[in-house]
Structure 1
Amino acid sequence: MARDGEWDRRSVVRGAAVLAGAAAAAPLLGGAARALSGGGEADALFRAGRFEQAGRAYEEILRTDPANARAARQRGYVALLANRFPDAERYLKKAIELAPGDKDAHHLLADCYIRQDEFARSVPHWRAAGEDAYARWFAAVRGEAYQVHGDTARLPWLQVDPMPLVEVSVNGGPPKRFTFYTGAPNLGLTSTVAREAGLSPVASQKIDFEGGTIWAHYGILESFRLGGIELRNVPVGWSATEAGGDVDTDSDGMIGTWVFYHLLTTFDYAGRSLILRRRTPEAAGEARAAAARAGAEPLPLWLAREQYLHSRGSVAGSGSRVVGVNLGGRGESAAVVFGDTAERLGIRTDYDRPIGTFAHSHPAVTYPCYPKELRLGDAVARGIYCENHPQAELAALGFDVPAAFFHCFYKPYNVTLDFTGMSLFIARGEAA
């Protein structure tokens, strides 16, 4: 999928680190897609999002052909999608042993290590994947990263549209207005906030952006406070123009998925608040109980390529499919449908009104469309405004994703992400 992220370029720029290195490039690498070009039952199952069955099929391949590097890599990828780290590490290391030059396997193993805050172990694999800036960044992390102080926080949204904003503190400084978006990876700041916080880059690189260039910088932030929760020793990124100015000024920064997967997070759209809890078995149990009381069944949660969230949903009667889950950000559409999805499912599309936008800083064209129904668990939207992106590369992550759900879809609901049990809960109304 070439664009499992926000469609408004300013949301991407505001996140700073969204633009940086591997994070921006990962969905476009296409390595997984190339690896699956040979066909076969295991590959077909993986493309269809039947990950557990695909994993067993790759294991069967390895039983008869233990030197099959591709099968080992794909089996590791299946495990990584579900945060099953021992399996992911075992199979990805085997894939690299069999094919030391496989950049995609190195990339996946590096991601496996940073999800566990084992940054030093990720460094040689980022370097082998060709991501030198990431390698320098994570080599600079000392001690325990993402230290969580405090147990709970409820941050009211200062606004909902065009993007939600919450109030935070950076290195103990005055309140700042940050947006958040799960299509972004790490915590991102504006260059102004980075200077005010006294940050110096440990790595930098130039990034091509909409016909020009900007600088992406990486550093380590001492303290990031979100109400009653403080995170310490946090990897952070910021972007700047060639002259050193802010690339965007609509907010002071963006909170990405890497922050959220260190916490138990509820995006309470209906209650207009962001609820953060320390990840403990007790907190996870309380979240499951609250969801059950609200009638919400747990949905699977998959994390692909560092920050891209997926679950199971349906579009215009497609049946249960893997769909992108994008919380926060900005935009007016409830979903974006990809490739030939609209044509296959008979989704009404207004091709007379093309929308010029950007996908990973490159020009793209979408069209207004109106699926009869979007569904994620028991959450439903009917006849709602969406966008059709027929040129999207559906196979870029290695599995088919007919659509991704965005900001406007979630407004009547609250959504909780449990990265320990890899479950998503969505329920109507305010969170309890």
Structure 2
Amino acid sequence: MANDGEWDRRSLLRGAAVVAGAAASAPLLGEAASAQAGSSDADVLFKAGKFEQAGRAYEEILKKDPTNLHAARQRGYVGLLGNKFPDAEKYLTTALKLAPDDKQTNRFLADCYTRQDKLSLAAPRWQAAGKEAQAKWFAAVRGKPYQIHGDIARVPWKQMDPSPLIEASVNGGPPKRFSFYTGAPWLDMSAEVAKEAGLSPVAQQKIDYLGGTAWMYFGVLDSFKLGGIELRNIPVGWTETDQASPVGPSDGLIGTWVFYHLLTTFDYAGRSLILRRRTPEVARKVRADAIRAGAKPLPLWLAREQYVHSTGSIAGSGPRVMGVNIGGVSECVAVMKGEVSKQLRIRTDYDRPLETFGHSHPTVVYPCYPTEIRLGNAVAREVYCNSAPQMQADEYGFDSLGGFFHSFYKPYNITLDFTDMNVYIARGKAA
């Protein structure tokens, strides 16, 4: 997402793909954070990532004051983070009745409907949230989107760096090379591939991009085939810009919206992408296989349409919310806010600033080297990370240490289970 609030797949940038998808950070370390985590204040609990406790606290507020817009909206957001759609719809609808023009409520409810493929319901909510292009786009989709054909696909990677590349067929055409990144939302492709596929835009918008501009176009693709899995009737985007792409040669980018329709394993150690039809039975089997391989179930939260989060730690911080940014382009294994690296006394090389981009805008980060970073049983020690002093705080409404990136996952396979909302990461190739 760009800083102005517009979606932008071009936030996938070299080096600070770094800050683009990273979870926002704020001071939550030390004694103050421990004291806050035990507080009954709903907002403090939410900011500390105690989402279930915060949800109960918001419910108590609403029992005493059913007209409390903030509590209703936040309780709905708690449900949305965990894909608990009945809860999310219940409380967000309550909030909408209290304030029909509230843009944040409309945006949350639009996202809630979008995740459930209820695009005709999502469109007016995107309109009310001020997202005209998205509203036109989803209103133009006819029939059920993201129709899944096939049960499983194991798609080999054509390269690992600077970004993983896989092959996919667009509208039955010859193989095209796509990268992927969970910091991006929808399926995006080059203007050339869109033209070859016969796509026509149903909506468009102009954005600032690097030192120039870009036009983003939105349409509906008939077919996208990844090995043994085919998706049909898919909302897609493509971009034309007067700036050179920093992500290297590829024909497109696959974002989180595709992956949350499937049970996806990013098998870094085996250099393959494993896609399965998402059913409770398949999820149980994958969970059992992951646990046998040494992975433990970690919580999965989805914020702001596409950003995956779980719990991890940096330099002995203890478990905290962190972004889980898979794919993309990044030499570093993690990014943290500047004040986090200072509070944790992480060795940071301020003499060697890296001028890069985040959210399509210039920024500066500094190399840093934490003693350890951890996601479940996956650990990296004394590795190259980035400290980002300008990383936005409170972007998602809750605190986070930062985010894991592409290089962290290389010895592992990592599975995102959007059925039970768990993350599994295990060393070695996937079964």
TM-score, structure 2 length as denominator? 0.91
| CA distance 1:392–1:246, shift in 2 (3 Å) | closer
Task: Give the residue type in structure 1 aligned to 2:123.
Answer: V
The structural deviation recorded for 1:241 is 2.3
Task: Judge conservation of contact 1:188–1:255 (CA < 8 Å) in 2.
Answer: yes
| Matched position secondary structure for 1:351 | coil
Distance (Å, rounded) in 1 between the aligned partners of 2:99 and 2:113: 19
Residue aligning to 1:159: 159
- 1:359 corresponds to which residue? 358
1:242 Cα deviation from its structure 2 partner: 5.9
Q: Is the 1:394–1:402 Cα contact (8 Å) retained in structure 2?
A: no
Shift in Å, 1:401: 1.1
Equivalent residue, structure 2, for 1:42: 42
> Alpha-carbon deviation of 1:208?
1.0
Match of 2:401 in 1: 402
Q: What is aligned with 1:320? A: 319
How many corresponding residue pairs? 408
Q: CA offsets per residue over residues 235-280 of structure 1, 9 Å max, x none?
A: 000000269x989761000100000000000000010100000011
How far 1:99 moved relative to its partner? 1.5
- Aligned runs of 1:1-400 on 2, under 5 Å? 12=12, 41-241=41-241, 250-400=249-399
Q: Distance in 1 between matches of 2:103 and 2:334?
A: 32
For residues 287 and 2 of structure 2, the distance between their equivalents in structure 1, rounded to whole angstroms, comes to 33
3-state SS of paired residue (1:427): strand
Contact 2:12 2:247 in 1 (8 A): no
Deviations 1:302-359 (A, max 9, x none): 0001000000110111111000000111110000001410000001100011111111
Shift of 1:423: 0.5
Does structure 1 conserve the Cα–Cα contact (< 8 Å) formed by 2:212 and 2:242?
Answer: no
8 Å CA contact 2:12–2:329 kept in 1: the answer is: no
Q: Tell me how far apart the structure 1 counterparts of residues 372 and 351 of structure 2 sit (CA, whole Å).
A: 22
Query: What residue number does 2:416 align with?
Result: 417
What code does the residue aligned with 1:384 have?
V
In structure 2, the CA distance between the partners of 1:2 and 1:49, relative to structure 1 (3 Å rule), is farther
Match of 1:35 in 2: none
Shift of 1:40: 7.6
For 2:349, give the aligned amino acid.
Answer: D
Q: Report which stretch shifted further, 259-268 or 245-254.
A: 245-254
CA distance, structure 2, for counterparts of residue 396 and residue 249 of structure 1: 28
Letter in 1 for 2:342: E
Amino acid at match of 1:405: F
For residue 327 of structure 1, give the secondary structure of its aligned residue in structure 2: coil
User: Could you tell me whether the CA contact under 8 Å between 1:188 and 1:237 is conserved in 2?
Assistant: yes
d(CA) in 2 for partners of 1:82 and 1:61?
Answer: 21
SS at match of 1:45: helix
Alpha-carbon separation, structure 1, partners of 2:12 and 2:295: 31
SS at match of 2:276: strand
SS in 2 for 1:155: strand
The answer to whether the Cα contact below 8 Å between 1:268 and 1:275 also exists between their aligned partners in 2 is: yes
Residues 157 and 166, structure 2, Cα contact 8 Å, conserved in 1: yes
Shift of 1:425: 0.5
1:339–1:393: 8 Å Cα contact kept in structure 2? Answer: no
Counterpart amino acid of 1:42? Answer: A
1:394 deviates by 2.1
Cα distance, 1:220 vs structure 2 = 0.2
Amino acid of the structure 1 residue aligned with 2:385: C
Cα gap change, 1:2/1:222 in structure 2, threshold over 3 Å: closer, same or farther? closer
Cα distance, 1:297 vs. partner? 1.1
Specify every segment of 5 or more residues in structure 1 that has no aligned partner in the other structure, as ranges. Answer: 4-8, 19-23, 29-38
Structure 1 residues 232 and 83, CA gap change in structure 2 (3 angstroms): same
> Does the aligned pair in 1 maintain the 2:11–2:358 contact within 8 Å?
no
| Matches of 2:2 and 2:13, distance apart in 1 | 17
Which of structure 1's runs of 4+ aligned residues deviate more than 6 A? 245-248
1:427 paired to 2:426: yes
Q: Give a deviation string over 1:137-177, Cα, whole Å, max 9, x none.
A: 00000001000000000011100011100011000000101
CA RMSD of aligned residues (A): 2.3
Distance change in 2, residues 1:308/1:248 (3 Å): closer
